[in-house]
Structure 1
Amino acid sequence: MRTAARRRILLPLGACALSLLSLLPAAGQTAAAQTGAARPGTAAERRVAAYLDSIKDDPAAQRAFFAALPKGGDLHNHLSGAASTEYILSLAAQDGMCLDPTTTAYMPPCKPGDRPAADTKTDADYRRTVIAAWSMQDFPPGESGHDHFFDAFNKFGDVTWRHRGELLADVTNALAAQNQSYLETMVSPASEEAKALANKVGWDDDFAKMHAKLLADGQMDAVVAAARKESDDADAVYAKTAHCGTGAPDPGCKVSVRWISQVSRGSTPERVFTQMVVGMRLAEQDARFVAINLVQPEDWDSSLQNYRLQMRMLNYLHTVYPKAHITLHAGELVPGLVKPEDLTFHVDQAVRTGEAERIGHGVDLRNETNWQDLARTMAAEKVAVEVPFTSNAQILGVKGADHPFSTYRQYGVPIVLATDDPGISRVDITHEYQYAAQTYGLSYLELKDLARASLEYAFVPGASLFSGPGKSAVVTACRSDRPGDPEPHQRCAQFLEANPKAALQWQQEGAFTAFERQYGGRG
């Protein structure tokens, strides 16, 4: 019975009219359960599991199933590498840009022998050549996927930095089509301004003095202001491109977006430190920004040489900016790519010194010194691992049993599936979930736990919907309501309004109800 004491909570289209009984958490269950331990599930969950088992030899039915599966958020996503290659190419043509013989884009005038990007509209062979250079499409076996992957960013980099808003519209629409509701995507805020300030200040081994020099005379405040203005402009372009706030908004307008500030780990110490400060101040001053992350290849000479130094920088800055989240690319390494000793400490240093709350990739886990203790620490401290299967396979050649996915699960380390750079990889999150299910024999309940974890470990402000030991129950305020109910009682509605993370999770529970109603009667 509905009463005036209830408040309406918006859910994904189609979920509101459906029964939500199937979403009552099973005893002992959790939004963060990752160990793969068997649980009975609800009747609706068991029916969906039976259907999934019935289509194991039907690729088309599987693709439809995994596309429809609510998949929460993408927490490891680089905006420039996430946008469609074709869309980036169309922007280059729109800007009148030129392509040199390596297909690297630059602003006109074009040099003799180079070609306008617009030629890709009329020359199909040339278009295929550029797309192959800017992505992993038609990548020839036997060549270095690592080098080809990272080189792609340099080829279209002069396009993407000009079009953050348009790229975001492209990426959020793709997420909405994949039944995802949340995105944390990486950009480099006020990159040129931060570089100029770092060069002006120079390096000081004393972190406190270095920090004080950056803040002197309002210099850092000016860089942060430039970053916020940059974001304001991008937001305006995004809203216009995606028609947000109009009578016909793009589906991507419903996706909640947060920014992660990239730090170029291959740069000089003063630039790395400066970018860290910019990103952490943004995370504390601007709700659109939530965290920082170190990017660029972990195996570069400069990255290896300065790795421990950079972890110490983070350790210090975490005391200055305790509200800024930290997620780190760490352990994106394999034997042969670096010296054996370089495989032994990167994840450990990121967790124990760099204050990482999440780890991106973490592929070299079993090469780390005393890795079992590290895995137990990550499990105990709930340091999640962001796993992009396709990226790991393309860049490092790691897949299947060679991937530490099962090891992390065995030790109870939280896992979230991610795409990394789906535009370059030519895949989507649906593919990653389907790969996980087929390769590691995951059940529907385990896939559902992965999707829930993608919001549980998101850097969304506010409390989680789940509480108790192991996050095994819905919070007290909402325990009398069915999870996902579009009209919860007043106490629950107030809790959801005050806690954006819980509100996102609540919406996902409603999406699961709709999904289980759709697929639970099949097969």
Structure 2
Amino acid sequence: MLVAALCLLPAAVAAPAGPASAAPGAPGGHAAASRPVPTAGEVVASARLAGIRDDPAALQSFFRALPKGGELHNHLSGAVTTEYLIRLAAEDGLCVDTATLTAVVPPCGPGTRPAADANTDTVFRDALVRAWSMQDFPPGGNGHDHFFDTFGKFGEVTWRNRGKLLAEFADTVVRQNQFYLETMVSPASESAKNLANQVGWDADLARMHARLVADGKLDKVVAEARKEADDGDAEFRTEARCGTGAARPGCGLTVRWISQVNRGSTHERVFTQMALGMRLAEADPRFVAVNLVQPEDWDTSLANYRTQMRMLKYLRGVYPKAHLTLHAGELWPGLVKPEDLAFHIGEAVDVAGAQRIGHGVDLVHEDDWQRVAGTMAARRIAVEVPFTSNAQILGVKGADHPFETYRAHGVPVVLATDDPGVSRIDVTHEYRYAAETYGLGYRELKDLARASLEYAFLPGASLWRGNPTRDGYRPVAACRHDEPGAGRLRPACRRLLDASPKATVEWRQEAAFRAFERRLTLGRTAG
């Protein structure tokens, strides 16, 4: 298990018509008059974006330079480029099964060849890239199965190199003009599995939990996960050269971990991983939340979904400080039976008490989906939207995607990448896709970036007052008269930033927006 870099950094195009669309310039469908008055910089940036909509090169420059908040939904094992994974496989002396193109441990016997051969054999290298990512995948093929199969093929590489993976991806996040990262890993996975097998399953959840914690058994796994994190942090800092004159960009990134739970496992393993992740989140500030992973449409995932939601409800009562974000509704008609589309997001919200929803693609197929969306809006439960992942796995894109529906119902929306290495994209691609597909203007894009920090699992008070998804992003009184990026702050604003990691990162992004808009005002290119 790998530790995060725990640095806390110091200090328009018309929207498409239709019943699910938000009013232009008014995320969530609220009247434009209720939004804050655009600043001069926002007016310039909006005009610039509208003026380059037919210029691909200028658009790419604009979106790459655009400050883009935080990355809240991604899996570290799928985050880095496939070429980097191949390089690590070669450095570790791993082999590749030539029939399945799966990385395996040495020595390289019959039916395998050294991964290092990819350094000189371009045909072999290209085959690995295609097998370990969505590169060149046929548009009409089964993207779902190919996507999920990649993780088993390169898994032998990723578990060995979590510190190096973080160093690589943290640099990418910073270069994409993002300021915060939450990434998913599986802490002490083998020991958690062994403990689950030892304890067995008990349908009485309180008794099951008591058996896990008896004699310090679960705490031993927590300690192992924290040691794993310490070791990974050391690897990260070495790889990123943190604390030296040659430090890589990712050294300054604020990073937190989300513990993955394999939803396709047995009841006892699922419950043990949940309890481990939540206990870890309360014991170690580097860990913030729990999430369920693996395909939601697997037979075991479908059969056990309601039981797993009840497990989470119980454990949230035991560990109230641990956060919860859930892959829910990553389904589509034809992938599962109609009845399996009817309740997953609703159960994640109403039963498990999820604070964010990942994907949420099948929203309008849920029973009483308007009520579900209304509940998410009222409780400020954000939906994490990775457009490319949804298109590659489910074939859902454009007007079929519920992005506009969520916004029209006032649900907070954040953009994410999911597995950018596997998908062969970056977050710049996702923001540009949103703008071009749904006609978003600059202020709407700016609010999407702000939302990705507002709904992050960072402690402390927000920089924004009220409900910014509903009312617009207006600074709290303490910082209302201070200028982001200015060298000197009023005492009240300084006290807020000193006390709140969340407000600190939000303030840093506002300074970046101010600089971005100033460059455009001065007539310089966005990049």
How do 1:79-478 and structure 2 match up within 5 A?
A: 79-100=76-97, 101-470=99-468, 472-478=473-479
Whole-angstrom CA distance in 1 between matches of 2:76 and 2:309: 24
1:19 matched residue in structure 2? none
Whole-angstrom CA distance in 1 between matches of 2:311 and 2:394: 28
Change (3 A) 1:484 1:319: farther
Q: Output the amino acid matched with 1:392.
A: N
Whole-angstrom CA distance in 1 between matches of 2:121 and 2:175: 30
Change (3 A) 1:36 1:136: farther
Shift of 1:54: 0.7
2:75 matched residue in structure 1? 78
Whole-angstrom CA distance in 2 between matches of 1:486 and 1:159: 45
1:51 matched residue in structure 2? 48
Shift of 1:37: 5.0
Contact 1:360 1:385 in 2 (8 A): yes
Whole-angstrom CA distance in 2 between matches of 1:454 and 1:141: 30
Whole-angstrom CA distance in 1 between matches of 2:136 and 2:89: 22
Whole-angstrom CA distance in 2 between matches of 1:302 and 1:211: 22
2:496 matched residue in structure 1? 495
Shift of 1:262: 0.1
- Once the two structures are superposed, residues 332-391 of structure 1 have per-residue CA deviations (whole angstroms, 9 ceiling, x without a partner) of 000010010000000000000011000000000000001011111111110100000000
Shift of 1:212: 0.3
How do 1:5-24 and structure 2 match up within 5 A?
A: 10=10
Whole-angstrom CA distance in 2 between matches of 1:319 and 1:60: 51
| Structure 1, unpaired ranges of 5+ | 1-8, 12-31
Q: Helix, strand or coil: the match of 2:212?
A: helix
Whole-angstrom CA distance in 2 between matches of 1:475 and 1:147: 47
Change (3 A) 1:175 1:55: same
- Once the two structures are superposed, residues 152-190 of structure 1 have per-residue CA deviations (whole angstroms, 9 ceiling, x without a partner) of 000000110111100000100011110011000000000
Contact 1:10 1:486 in 2 (8 A): no
Shift of 1:469: 5.0
Shift of 1:34: 4.4
Q: Helix, strand or coil: the match of 1:263?
A: strand
- Once the two structures are superposed, residues 99-126 of structure 1 have per-residue CA deviations (whole angstroms, 9 ceiling, x without a partner) of 0021100110112131110010000111
Whole-angstrom CA distance in 2 between matches of 1:104 and 1:34: 45
Q: Output the amino acid matched with 1:80.
A: S
- Once the two structures are superposed, residues 304-324 of structure 1 have per-residue CA deviations (whole angstroms, 9 ceiling, x without a partner) of 000000000000001000000
Q: Cα RMSD (Å) of the superposition?
A: 1.4
Whole-angstrom CA distance in 1 between matches of 2:29 and 2:516: 24
Shift of 1:482: 2.0
Shift of 1:521: 3.7
Q: Output the amino acid matched with 1:73.
A: G
Q: Helix, strand or coil: the match of 1:467?
A: coil
Moved more, 413-422 or 88-97: 88-97
Shift of 1:50: 0.3
- Once the two structures are superposed, residues 463-517 of structure 1 have per-residue CA deviations (whole angstroms, 9 ceiling, x without a partner) of 1011135465322222231244342122211211110000000000000000001
Q: Output the amino acid matched with 1:75.
A: L
Q: Helix, strand or coil: the match of 1:447?
A: helix
Whole-angstrom CA distance in 1 between matches of 2:466 and 2:347: 30
Whole-angstrom CA distance in 1 between matches of 2:457 and 2:232: 21
Moved more, 34-43 or 338-347: 34-43
Change (3 A) 1:37 1:168: farther
Q: Output the amino acid matched with 1:230.
A: E
Whole-angstrom CA distance in 2 between matches of 1:268 and 1:125: 40
Whole-angstrom CA distance in 2 between matches of 1:252 and 1:41: 33
Aligned residue pair count:
495
Moved more, 460-469 or 389-398: 460-469
- Once the two structures are superposed, residues 209-233 of structure 1 have per-residue CA deviations (whole angstroms, 9 ceiling, x without a partner) of 0000000111001000000000000
Contact 1:190 1:230 in 2 (8 A): yes
Contact 2:27 2:408 in 1 (8 A): no
Contact 1:47 1:521 in 2 (8 A): no
Whole-angstrom CA distance in 2 between matches of 1:113 and 1:82: 29
Change (3 A) 1:35 1:459: farther
Whole-angstrom CA distance in 1 between matches of 2:209 and 2:294: 23
Whole-angstrom CA distance in 2 between matches of 1:247 and 1:493: 29
| Structure 2, unpaired ranges of 5+ | 1-8, 12-25
Whole-angstrom CA distance in 2 between matches of 1:75 and 1:487: 31
1:4 matched residue in structure 2? none
Change (3 A) 1:478 1:134: same
Shift of 1:33: 5.4
Q: Output the amino acid matched with 1:238.
A: F
Whole-angstrom CA distance in 1 between matches of 2:257 and 2:31: 34
